[in-house]
């Protein structure tokens, strides 16, 4: 009986141990599962943290880039405000060069108008908006003998047409970066507008001071220029010549053929003057068939040679008359010239005195038979 009881007790103990083992394994598995879940969640949290940190870093980089762009645009705004009107194209080129150098902060820069023999400009013209060369000596695209090593260039459009290039260079290899490319592109757009405004301003100014009938300057503007040139010549002690000319017997042409023919002759005459005077000379319609001219940096002897060449050309050429006829009607005309040159003896003359002196010289040419040149002395 006692043995049977002990056997049952052992059996119960074994069953108890088995039950405890099962419970232990269950808890163990549950713990493992919980541990794995926590590890997984922890990994996800760490991954989220890494992603957030990467996003923050990306945002910081974008913010820095945006800040730089804002700074560039602010600087660009100040730069554009510094542009005024330019007296001539050369002055504009110099100003643009200085502004781009300041904005880019590196490299040597120049604004270049398009020429057919410019290989860099031709490369950009073919569709490459920006050209960057890290080592010119090893670049097979171009055969250019130069000490330049790095080149960065962008095309400049004016009124939607290819106008030229903004080019920077350095004597160091790999000098320009992607950031420089972006900055150059930004400023090139503004420079395009500056050039457009320059030509627009020049056109408007020309229209305001030009006689629409002859294409020569108006008398009022001519007098302003003469005052400026006279002051400059006196200060710099350089020669200056002023003159007045007109068509001989122009009233006879008007009376015989009418206003339409006379106007045509006057326009043809003005075209000859604009073509034969030098580029630096100033020609204006002074009134009726009278024209005045300023010849900067020109003494009396030099002026006489140029005026005689013009006088002879007018004398020999045939002027077309727009008459209803079965054959072409031409006319020969002549012109008389009077001029005065600035000298030590007349350095005290003012603008009006200068004009009056040249007018007196023209009057003398008329008295002496016309088709001649007279100098006021």
Task: Per-residue pLDDT tens, the chain, 377 aa: give them.
Answer: 555 556 666 566 666 666 666 766 666 666 666 666 666 666 665 666 666 556 655 555 554 544 454 455 445 555 555 555 555 778 888 888 888 888 888 999 999 999 998 989 999 988 777 889 999 888 888 888 888 889 999 999 888 889 999 999 999 999 999 889 888 888 888 888 888 888 877 776 666 778 888 989 888 889 988 999 999 999 999 999 999 999 999 999 999 999 999 999 999 999 999 999 998 999 999 988 999 999 999 999 999 999 999 999 999 999 999 887 767 789 999 999 999 999 888 888 899 999 999 999 999 999 999 999 999 98
Q: What CATH number is given for 219-375 in this structure?
A: 3.30.70.270
Rounded Cα–Cα distance for residues 304 and 322 (Å): 33
Question: Which three-class secondary structure state does DSSP give residue 166?
Answer: strand
**Dihedrals phi, psi of 247, to nearest 5 degrees:** -85, 130
pLDDT given at position 67: 45
Residue 166, judged by CB atoms within 10 A of its CB (0-12, 13-18, 19+), counts as buried
Rounded Cα–Cα distance for residues 263 and 278 (Å): 24
201-222 in b/e form (b: 16+ CB < 10 A) is ebeeeeeeebbeebebbbbebb
Rounded Cα–Cα distance for residues 26 and 143 (Å): 82
Rounded Cα–Cα distance for residues 351 and 229 (Å): 10
Class at the top of the CATH hierarchy for domain 89-209: alpha beta
pLDDT given at position 329: 83
Strands 335-341 and 373-375: parallel
pLDDT given at position 46: 61
Rounded Cα–Cα distance for residues 76 and 112 (Å): 20
**Dihedrals phi, psi of 65, to nearest 5 degrees:** -65, -45
DSSP 60-76: HHHHHHHHHHHHHHHHH
Rounded Cα–Cα distance for residues 349 and 241 (Å): 13
238-260 in b/e form (b: 16+ CB < 10 A) is ebbbbbbbbbbebeebbeebeee
Residue written as token pair 């503007």: 221
Domain boundaries, the chain: 89-209, 219-375
**Dihedrals phi, psi of 238, to nearest 5 degrees:** -110, 155
pLDDT given at position 4: 59
Say what the pTM is. Answer: 0.54
Neighbours of 17 (CB within 10 A): 10
pLDDT given at position 1: 56
Rounded Cα–Cα distance for residues 291 and 244 (Å): 6
């Amino acid at each position: 009986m006692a043995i049977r009881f002990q056997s049952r007790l052992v059996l119960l103990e074994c069953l108890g141990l088995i039950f405890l083992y099962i419970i232990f394994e269950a808890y163990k598995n549950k713990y493992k599962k919980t541990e794995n879940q926590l590890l997984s969640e922890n990994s996800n949290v760490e991954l989220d943290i890494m992603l957030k940190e990467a996003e923050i870093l990306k945002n910081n980089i974008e913010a820095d880039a945006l800040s730089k762009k804002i700074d560039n645009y602010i600087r660009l705004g100040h730069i554009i405000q510094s542009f005024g009107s330019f007296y001539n194209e050369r002055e504009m080129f110099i100003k643009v060069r200085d502004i781009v150098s300041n904005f880019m902060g590196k490299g040597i820069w120049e604004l270049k108008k398009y020429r057919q023999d410019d290989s860099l400009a031709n490369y950009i013209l073919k569709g490459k908006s920006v050209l960057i060369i890290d080592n010119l000596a090893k670049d097979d695209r171009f055969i250019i003998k130069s000490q330049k090593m790095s080149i960065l260039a962008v095309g400049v459009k004016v009124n939607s047409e290819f106008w030229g290039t903004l080019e920077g260079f350095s004597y160091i290899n790999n000098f320009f970066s992607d950031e420089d490319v972006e900055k150059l592109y930004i400023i090139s757009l503004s420079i395009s507008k500056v050039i457009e405004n320059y030509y627009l301003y020049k056109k408007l100014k020309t229209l305001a001071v030009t006689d629409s009938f002859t294409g020569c300057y108006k008398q009022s503007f001519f007098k302003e220029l003469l005052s400026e040139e006279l002051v400059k010549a006196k200060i710099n002690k350089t020669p200056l010549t002023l003159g007045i000319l007109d068509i001989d017997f122009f009233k006879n042409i008007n009376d015989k053929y009418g206003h339409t023919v006379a106007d045509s002759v006057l326009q043809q005459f003005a075209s000859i003057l604009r073509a034969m005077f030098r580029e630096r000379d100033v020609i204006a319609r002074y009134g009726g068939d009278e024209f005045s001219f300023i010849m900067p940096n020109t003494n009396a002897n030099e002026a006489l040679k140029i005026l005689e060449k013009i006088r002879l050309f007018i004398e020999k050429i045939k002027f077309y008359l727009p008459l209803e006829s079965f054959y072409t009607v031409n006319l020969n005309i002549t012109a008389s010239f009077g001029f005065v040159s600035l000298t030590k003896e007349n350095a005290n003359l003012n603008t009006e005195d200068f004009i009056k002196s040249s007018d007196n010289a023209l009057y003398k040419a008329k008295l002496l038979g016309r088709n001649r040149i007279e100098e006021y002395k």
